[in-house]
């Protein structure tokens, strides 16, 4: 949509512009917005002042636009409510693109506001001026060109704000781009805001499954040998556990699902945390092949689990609250877009409690043997390995804490080896699985949650977003950055390139050593720094209060051996 305006006169005065921006902010706050992330710039002054002036907006200023955008993404990821993200005109807006793409693919709400030059400065070579119309293409739920603020159109101002907000949190969550053209002078006095419209509610609920979808799911749940795949997107795990306990099906719990909890919390359900390592054992993978798969939320991180599901030939039904479906193997026969909680409650009421079966016993024994083998192997390790770093972090964090995982090895190590525990929320940017903006995402999560937050990240990912460290020590957060420094791209050592290329060529293209002194980097940002070589040292550093960086130095080649040792230990246990 576009709001037109005249170039001359009161319609585009500084006062009108200031009132227009104050109205947008007021409406967004009324709808639930709490946080605004601003990258400094001149042309965005009217909106920046409006955000800074509202008493209910928590304002966070980030020097770098890319860092700002991922911090705003982290706020939306943690809270489910979009942050207002603001920058000036020109290439500043282009730096938001990575976070916009992640927001789109991960269904994370994000309100992107870009300042722009007025029409008369377009196409004439004015500085910091590019064509920002549909700048982010199909990666936004909606593009709104608000044009120049026009006092004659003020009855529509709140509708603009409401439409933008609704597009981020509706049935298909994601980013909205509002382009705001401002004329100089950029500072004006705010006048009377237009009245509130209480008759246009914003829909924030998911779709409801159709009668035929519910019937099909109900019939499928009669299978004797089924599994529940619990992925990201579940906000009330107790409904998953109630259904699983009645069906006597195991719950393969992704670390981000909020379902990887201890047995007391699972209330009779069998939670599987070792699926990746146990399914690497061919006989176990064959014995545990399901006849039906109920996938709730996103698929798991584990490639091994996903390949096992694809080979199983089982019917697979996926339930997601968003209309997008991640199904690269094309194995989902039915995709139900629905409120997960409502649908699971209905299915649980229709199911009688089954007696314990040999099927669930097989899963219990395999999980127990695998976990004992992992624990025994970790207990023998004196120096920290990368898997031991992951399991120690998961175990050591206090109840109520948040853990943000970087892509590449950290999210995999927690998925593969992390033990069940209650009271920890795990988050990660898995929309596109990139390593850009991870530090800033964790900062955003910490800002939105207000609880102790830990980031587990590799050295390359941290270097990708070292600007996220700017002013971190001055922000009101408790953020521990656990840095796994293996002097390069550790995940590539697990790929065929590591064996098929010469050592020098592999190092040049994939190992990519950087020789960065992270203690000096932390010091430049006034962030306390410590190194840990053992699990007790890591636990002690994690127990300290306040923001800090904790580095663990590892070796990429040894890391492959450490993983293989764990796989072999589990295989030996399952053979027994």
User: Each residue of 348-399: pLDDT tens digit?
Assistant: 998 778 888 899 999 999 999 999 999 999 999 999 999 999 999 999 999 9
What domain range includes position 84? Answer: 10-181
393-416 per-position pLDDT tens digit: 999 999 999 999 999 899 999 999
* Domain closes at, from 330, 361, 392: 361
3-state secondary structure of 295: strand
Residues 411 and 347 placed together within one structural domain of the fold: no
10: confidence class by pLDDT, cuts 50, 70, 90: very low
Q: In this structure, are residues 260 and 420 in contact, taking their beta carbons and an 8 Å threshold?
A: yes
Q: Look at 209 and 12; give whichever has higher pLDDT.
A: 209
Question: Going by DSSP bridges, is the β-strand pair 334-337/315-320 parallel, antiparallel, or unpaired?
Answer: parallel
Is 255 found in the same domain as 141?
no
Terminal Cα distance for the chain, rounded: 66
Residue 309 covered by a domain: yes
Query: What order of strands is seen across the sheet that includes strand 315-320?
Result: 270-272, 250-253, 226-230, 292-296, 315-320, 334-337
Same domain, 408 and 520: yes
Tokens of 499: 């064996």
Element (H, E) at 46: helix 45-53
3 state DSSP class of 136: coil
279 and 412 share a domain?
Answer: no
Regarding predicted confidence, which is higher, 428 or 487?
428
Residue 211: predicted pLDDT: 92
Report yes or no on 197 lying in a domain: no
User: Is residue 287 located within the same domain as residue 145?
Assistant: no
Q: Which of 448, 465, 402 is nearest to 60 (CA)?
A: 448
Q: For the full predicted model, state whether its pTM sits above 0.85.
A: yes
Q: What CATH number is associated with residue 270?
A: 3.40.50.1220
Token output for 86: 């603001």
pLDDT, tens only, 499-546: 888 878 888 888 788 899 999 999 999 999 999 999 999 999 999 999
Place of tokens 């972090």: 393
Q: What is the pLDDT of residue 491?
A: 80
Per-residue model confidence (pLDDT) at position 493: 77
Centroid of chain to Cα 41: 28
What gap in Å lies between CA 361 and CA 358, rounded to an integer? 5
Residue pair 369/287 in contact (Cβ under 8 Å)? The answer is: no
CB 385 within 8 A of CB 411: no
Structure tokens at 144: 């709104």
C-alpha distance from residue 406 to each of 86, 395, 411 (Å): 25, 18, 6
pLDDT tens column, 222-232: 999 999 999 99
Q: What is the chain's mean pLDDT, rounded? A: 93
DSSP 234-287: -S-HHHHHHHHHHHT-EEEE-TTSS----HHHHTT-EEES-HHHHTTSHHHHHH
Percent of the chain with pLDDT over 70: 97
* Cα 311 to chain centroid, rounded: 28
Query: 563 falls in which pLDDT band (50, 70, 90)?
Result: very high
Residues 353 and 385 in one domain: no
Note whether residue 373 is domain-resident: no
**Position 68 in a domain:** yes
Q: Are residues 81 and 173 in the same domain?
A: yes
Listed in sequence order, the residues at least 6 apart from 421 whose beta carbon sits closer than 8 Å to its beta carbon are 260, 261, 262, 394, 395
Per-residue confidence (pLDDT) for residue 199, from 0 to 100 = 65
For residue 510, being part of any structural domain is answered with yes
The answer on pLDDT for 7 being more than 90 is no
Question: Does any domain span residue 3?
Answer: no
Q: Is the pLDDT of residue 495 over 80?
A: no
Sheet containing 142-147: give its strands across: 58-61, 35-38, 84-87, 110-116, 175-181, 142-147
Query: Given its phi and psi angles, is residue 115 left (phi above 0), alpha (psi -120 to 50 degrees) or beta?
Result: beta
* Domain assignment present for 5: no
Among 69-73, 153-157, 521-525, the range scoring the smallest mean pLDDT is 153-157
Please give the backbone phi and psi of residue 428, each rounded to the nearest 5 degrees, phi first: -165, 150
The pLDDT tens digits for 283-300 are: 999 999 999 999 999 999
Domain end call among 163, 181, 199: 181
Q: Are residues 69 and 173 in the same domain?
A: yes
Residues 92-109 have a mean pLDDT of 97
CB 96 within 8 A of CB 13: no
DSSP state, residue 2: B
The encoded tokens of residue 548 equal: 């800090």
Q: Residue 437 — left, alpha, or beta (φ > 0 → left; ψ -120 to 50 → alpha)? A: left
Given this model, what pLDDT does residue 494 score? 81
Q: How confident is the model at residue 2, as a pLDDT?
A: 40
Alpha carbon distance 314, 249 (integer Å): 14
CATH no. for residue 62?
3.40.50.970
pLDDT the model gives residue 8: 39
The verdict on 420 and 302 lying in the same domain is no
Q: What is the tally of structural domains in the chain?
A: 3
Confidence band for 11, pLDDT divided at 50, 70 and 90: low
What pLDDT, on a 0 to 100 scale, did the predictor assign at position 190? 96
Do 310 and 421 have their domain in common? no
Asked, for residue 205, whether it belongs to a domain, the answer is no
Evaluate if residue 9 carries a pLDDT over 50.
no
Query: Residues 356, 387: one domain?
Result: no
The DSSP code sequence of 139-206 is GSSEEEEEES--GGGGGGHHHHHHHHHHHHHSSS--EEEEEEE-PSP------PPPPP--S-PPP-PP
Band of residue 3 on the pLDDT scale cut at 50, 70, 90: very low
State the average pLDDT over residues 183-208: 83
Residue 195 Cα to chain centre, angstroms: 36
CB 29 within 8 A of CB 36: no
433 shares a domain with 351: no
């Amino acid at each position: 949509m576009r709001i037109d305006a005249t170039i001359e006169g009161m319609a585009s005065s500084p006062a009108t512009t200031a009132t227009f921006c104050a109205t947008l902010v007021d409406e967004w706050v009324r709808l639930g917005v709490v946080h605004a992330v601003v990258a400094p710039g001149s042309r965005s002054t009217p909106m920046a002042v409006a955000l800074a002036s509202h008493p209910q907006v928590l304002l966070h200023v980030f020097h770098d636009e890319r860092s700002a955008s991922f911090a705003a993404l982290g706020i939306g990821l943690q809270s489910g409510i979009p942050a207002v993200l603001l920058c000036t005109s020109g290439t500043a807006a282009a730096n938001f693109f990575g976070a916009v793409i992640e927001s789109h693919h991960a269904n994370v709400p994000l309100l992107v506001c870009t300042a722009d030059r007025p029409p008369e400065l377009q196409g004439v070579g004015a500085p910091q001026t590019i064509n920002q119309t549909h700048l982010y293409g199909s990666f936004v739920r909606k593009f709104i060109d608000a044009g120049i603020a026009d006092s004659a159109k003020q009855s529509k101002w709140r509708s603009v704000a409401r439409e933008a907000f609704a597009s981020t949190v509706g049935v298909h969550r994601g980013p909205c781009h509002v382009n705001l053209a401002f004329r100089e002078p950029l500072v004006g006095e705010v006048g009377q805001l237009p009245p509130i419209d209480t008759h246009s509610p914003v829909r924030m609920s998911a779709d409801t499954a159709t009668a035929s979808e519910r019937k099909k799911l109900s019939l499928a749940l009669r299978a004797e040998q089924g599994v529940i795949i619990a992925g990201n997107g579940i906000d009330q795990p107790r409904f998953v556990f109630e259904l699983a306990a009645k069906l006597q099906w195991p719950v393969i719990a992704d670390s981000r699902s909020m379902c990887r909890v201890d047995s007391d919390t699972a209330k009779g359900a069998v939670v599987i945390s070792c699926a990746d390592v146990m399914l690497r054992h061919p006989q176990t993978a064959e014995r545990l092949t399901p006849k039906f798969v109920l996938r709730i939320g996103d698929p798991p991180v584990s490639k091994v689990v996903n390949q096992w599901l694809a080979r199983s030939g089982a019917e697979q039904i996926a339930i997601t609250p968003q209309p997008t479906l991640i199904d690269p193997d094309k194995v989902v026969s039915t995709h139900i877009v629905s409120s997960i909680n409502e649908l699971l409650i209905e299915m649980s009421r229709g199911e009688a409690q089954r007696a314990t079966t040999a099927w669930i016993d097989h899963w219990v024994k395999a999980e127990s043997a695998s976990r004992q083998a992992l624990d025994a192997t970790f207990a023998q390790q004196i120096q920290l390995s990368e898997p031991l770093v992951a399991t120690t972090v998961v175990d050591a964090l206090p109840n109520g804490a948040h853990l943000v995982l970087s892509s590449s090895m950290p999210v995999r190590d927690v998925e593969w080896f992390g033990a069940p525990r209650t009271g920890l929320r795990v988050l990660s940017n898995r929309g596109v699985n990139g390593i850009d903006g991870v530090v800033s995402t964790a900062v955003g999560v910490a800002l939105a949650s207000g609880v102790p937050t830990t980031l587990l990240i590799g050295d390359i990912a941290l270097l990708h977003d070292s600007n996220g460290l700017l002013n971190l020590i001055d922000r009101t957060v408790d953020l521990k950055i656990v840095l796994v420094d293996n002097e390069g791209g550790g995940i590539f050592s697990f790929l065929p390139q590591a064996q098929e290329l010469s050592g020098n060529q592999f190092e040049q293209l994939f190992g990519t050593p950087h020789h960065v002194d992270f203690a000096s980097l932390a010091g430049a940002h006034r962030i306390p720094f410590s190194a840990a070589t053992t699990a007790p040292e890591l636990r002690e550093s994690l127990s300290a209060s306040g923001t800090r960086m904790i580095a663990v130095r590892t070796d990429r080649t040894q890391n492959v051996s450490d993983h293989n040792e764990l796989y072999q230990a589990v295989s030996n246990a399952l053979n027994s």
